[in-house]
Structure 1
């Protein structure tokens, strides 16, 4: 079904044992299909990349895992490989949602398995995959309600950072479905369409002609005028002279198209800061003391790396400003 104003992305409906998985993306967004680079393709999924501001990218994934244990087990490896691929992409923002049919897992939001679950079971492998991928799961209450059956939590929403989703709401089921609807706001700034911007090219200006154009007998020109009238005349003369004697150049600009990292942040400091953030997310999922200790170590390393990078940057500016004041 096509929705006006949206692009439809769907999975391969002709593949074996697949269901219809669709993602609608507003046409005003710069989006494209992404093909997972994995050994075994998981056909019951769709992946899209949306370009954002400041060179950011959003990876959107929609997944369906079969409710049939036999079918699900047959393609379990494919699903896990695809999730690991998604978690390791270079995209700054990741949003993965779908019906995973793992009702035995409790999310608080950290995943918890029932007692005496075999470590080789699909549930255990799925939980380990989520923990190892540093993904945060946002749904904690049942999403599937069927008459005379215990409600289950089958539908999951993952992001690579906890703060990316806000205002999550539970809605009425769509049509005759026994799954509730989920609505949420995802914090991501899409890229703006390129704009043709014209700016003066002062390097190629005809300053001799500009000087002659502004060689005006201002005392006579401004005699008897109010301050505001004088300002308007001076501004008009300067503007006209610049437009006539200074050429322009055109270039495309995109809103927000600049790096988010501070000027002082080195690659090492950035990597250590990113590792600190990932380990914190892992601890939130596991609540394990060893993971917390790893986070503490990474936090200290990131703090020292950032302080060192800032100090070296400021020292470099101070040294260079002695010979080049523009550096400061």
Structure 2
């Protein structure tokens, strides 16, 4: 079909066979990835005859043109295909169930002032807090096993029993070869089909209306053809990493290379409106409890493993020990080592999934450290706006952002 030119043009008229071919490609939403000639013959114009057609460009990591085999006048196309690995049909998970009401009551009875002395090092205070919290959590935790089908999460235990019963009825028919056994199996199978379709529809409707976006996108990713997990990326030598540690090291080097260290020179301020001074920040338990109660339970935890759900449900009992830790940290100008660490997750952007430059890092720090940061931020913001602290040009944008932030907080 010499009249077909790539990329396809919507305004071009094709003859009957070529038009049918082009219409088929468009109707199936196919993409053609090869953009350079693939056939070379002496005395003729090079042409693009060898194609790579996909319905998702992420299916192919990259492709390259190699010399032809033997005496062929067609080049060799090499590409790497990235497919989703099928999950096991059944997965048994061990669910962790915490009685937050009982845990909150137990934590309220803890004498935190005797455990967390005001003269202790902040690292020791944090370790003592985490150890006691772990003990109390374990005493209020129960476990149970849950068998699910990852690709079909709407199937519950009752449906699994029905599917096993359907298989047994089919085995019974194979042994007897009786008409009544076949009719019974077909009737039962049709009933299960209607039940499964209704369960799937209900599951997807509830997922679409849910506020938990993570579950929604997790379900969407599970139905994609392309692999969402991170493969082994290439190192500096261009070779694919042989282990997860080597792949993580390559990603770490890539992220570090693009990191820009900001200068330490802070902008000068003008205190013309007031001579106020912010010398300390207080962390009253009531303020800490307010911030804990406003947490989003869907927020991912950091390296300490303390979830937003636990902090929110136990905000009343945890406000005092966290207030003491915050006060000590601010007074000693030090942070617990765990607060300085982050879980870095590479997020794929586009292109070759084996290229570390095609990922961007997402850092997860402990939620408790973000609470401390928010309280300090609020105190500094309130002081700056109350005392008319102005930042000299070209930093007026920061002042505008502070004003917008204050207005938004007042509207809530």
> Above 0.5 in TM-score?
no
TM-score using structure 1 length = 0.34
Task: Say which one has the larger Rg.
Answer: 2
Structure showing greater relative contact order (alpha-carbon pairs closer than 8 Å, 6 or more residues apart): 2
